[in-house]
Structure 1
Amino acid sequence: MQTNSRWECQLKAPLSARWIGFLCLAATALGWALNWPAMKFLLREWPPLFARGVAGAAAAFLLTGVAVLYGESLKAPRHVIPRLLFAAFTNVFAWMGFSTLCMKWLDVGEGALLVYTMPIWATLLAWPILGSRPTRRGTGALLLGMAGVSVLLSARGFNLDTGKLLGIGFAFSAAVLFALGTVLNCTPLPLPPITAVAWQVGLGCLPMILIGLVFERPNLGGLNSAGWSVLAYMTLVPMGLCYLAWFATLRRLPPAVASTGMLLVPLIGVLSAAVILGEPLGPRQFVSLALTLGGVTLALQTS
């Protein structure tokens, strides 16, 4: 009953708080979307897990400095540590690490399609965990959004060899685990907001660096000036500002609404890849845009 009341409070939140949530959601979607072509560019010079881990560790360091400037305590009470470790695993290591790792076997389109089934899992997990049954409007929004993503990427078939199966497994793992973290983070960690993000990003990215050093064997001097610029973007925006905006979103909007809004990420990612990397852009992309924006608009109306 207590969890249900929290869910209802989010639905009845003041209008200003919900609009702040929508703005944070839009900022998160845009920053994470542009990270797809950025990551594709960086993969030419550094392996995925190590690159993502380095960007995240640098972001955690910067966020720690921001927390200190704002007078936040960096201490994590002992009783919070299990929740903090779980949140770091689902929200950072699994989401960022597995979604990047899947790109070793899948192309960007295939990976984005599978990773952003996350709203389906969030909607389904919110039912048993939070006692929130999907509404007809919410279900319709989800179907519209997923139809838009499917139209955009339906031309990319799957050849289910061993490599493809590994990639699909990592992509689905990222989607399901991040959805679980999204639902459970309906109740924020009892830490100052910037401190909570800094801890999660740092704890989630440190294992990526260690695993990357052992198994990926990166060329530490392999980045050129363009690569360093992309790495700086990944540090400041997707791993820093976007995580702050994402957790601010979860404090103001229900998980189903927030995760449905995340369907904008693969759409914007592919559109930006057309501009930045010269990838194809035609009628299929515009039909997808109409369907996905229709789904997101319908989802926002449920709040």
Structure 2
Amino acid sequence: MALSRRAAFALFGIVVLAWGCNWPVTKILVVSIPPLWLAALRAWIACTALLVILGASGRLILPPRADAPVILGVALLHMVAFSTLTAAGLAWLPAGKGIVLGYTTPLWVALAAPAVLGERLTQAGAVGVGIGLTGLAMLLNPLALDWSRHETMLGCAFVLAAAICWAANILVGRAHRWVATPLQLLPWQAALAGIVLTGAALVRNGWPHVAWTPRVLGLLAYSGLVGTALAYWAMSMVTRSLPALTTALGVTATPLVGIAVATAALGEPLNGSLAVAAGLVVAGIVVSTLAASTRSTAGGR
């Protein structure tokens, strides 16, 4: 059932806020929980919540065999690789810089889509990618980032690798012929990710020794329930109620929310280079998205 326009925009605002806050929350949690275990626990929490949501709404199904490629793609590329790499990167990076690096994903999608999906990168799309990559270069330049610190450079490499994994996941999803809806497959993707992550965490870290304080439990519950399960459910409702271009452009507010929350809640400095880099990355994504929308509209005539 589609929502009213007002309700859809209100729910969309909640999604952007939830995803934006999830980056600073992850930054706090990796101090107490190893990245692999954090990703595993978040996957199991999200899986449980999504099973309850879909079961209560009568939309819970067993995953069709034809959807196996996209189940594997989302589980391994997004829920395992992206979640683990971003958590590992945020152990060494400020959340503000991490979220800007992580949200370069649409730029990598635009660059890879011509080769992978046969889509044409228009001149306007290329300009948008160029603007975004200029922002990335500004964020990574030696004047804004201490290249002598091994941990900082490794953190940047982890989050950029995460963004590329997310881009690969998006390309898999766009190339796939869906049988079930993305939301109906999500709990099974989370379950598969949870199995893989739990096994990897046991091998890498052994059983976790975590001080389960109310703060840690609350933040973990937020990350799994609000930042993952409920946000994905809400986004599925929004995409059925608002135009695709509106949602694509609206999501670009997420890194800005994340930077604002990191500045306010974690006391991270908002310097000029970070602000300009974030602005350029977001502007590049907006230009690329508008170019892709124009190309799609023209191609449909």
Q: Which moved more, 1:38-47 or 1:110-119?
A: 110-119
Q: Distance in 2 between matches of 1:195 and 1:41?
A: 31
Aligned to 2:35: 48
TM score, norm. by length of structure 1: 0.76
Unaligned runs of 5+ residues in structure 1 are 1-15
CA distance, structure 2, for counterparts of residue 129 and residue 209 of structure 1: 32
Per-residue Cα deviation, 1:70-102 (whole angstroms, up to 9, x for no partner): 212421233433432233112211121222123
- Cα offset for 1:217? 3.9
Q: 2:80 aligns with which of 93, 96, 99?
A: 93
Aligned mate of 1:270, from 254, 259, 271: 259
- Identity rate of aligned residues, in percent? 28
Name which of 189, 194, 202 aligns with 2:183: 194
Q: For residues 199 and 131 of structure 2, what CA distance do their matches in structure 1 show? A: 40
Pair 1:171-2:159 in alignment = yes
The answer on whether the counterparts of 2:91 and 2:155 sit within 8 Å (CA) in structure 1 is yes
1:111-133 deviations in whole A, cap 9, x for unaligned? 44543332222012211222222
CA contact (8 A) 1:182 1:250 kept: no
8 A Cα contact 2:42 2:220, kept in partner: yes
Structure 1 22/98 Cα, relative in aligned 2: closer, same or farther at 3 Å?
A: farther
Question: Comparing 73-82 with 106-115, which one deviates more in the overlay?
Answer: 106-115
1:76-225 aligned at under 5 Å gives the runs: 76-108=63-95, 111-148=98-135, 151=138, 154=141, 155-159=144-148, 161=150, 167-186=155-174, 187=176, 189-217=178-206, 219-220=208-209, 222-225=211-214
Contact 1:122 1:180 in 2 (8 A): yes
- Distance (whole Å) between structure 2 residues aligned to residue 33 and residue 88 of structure 1: 21
Unaligned runs of 5+ in 2: 294-301
Residue identity in the other structure for 2:163:
A
Match of 1:32 in 2: 19
CA shift for structure 1 position 18: 12
User: After the TM superposition, which of the residue ranges 268-277 and 207-216 deviates more from structure 2?
Assistant: 207-216
1:119–1:262 CA contact under 8 A, matched in 2 = no
**Equivalent position of 2:62 in the other structure:** 75
Shift in Å at residue 265 of structure 1? Answer: 3.9
Q: CA deviation at 1:195?
A: 2.0
CA distance in structure 1 between the aligned counterparts of 2:69 and 2:280, rounded to whole angstroms: 40
Structure 2 distance, partners of 1:150, 1:88, is: 30
Residues 134-155 of structure 1: per-residue CA shift (max 9 Å, x gap)? 2222233333344445546651
Q: Is the 8 A contact 1:38 1:230 kept in 2?
A: yes
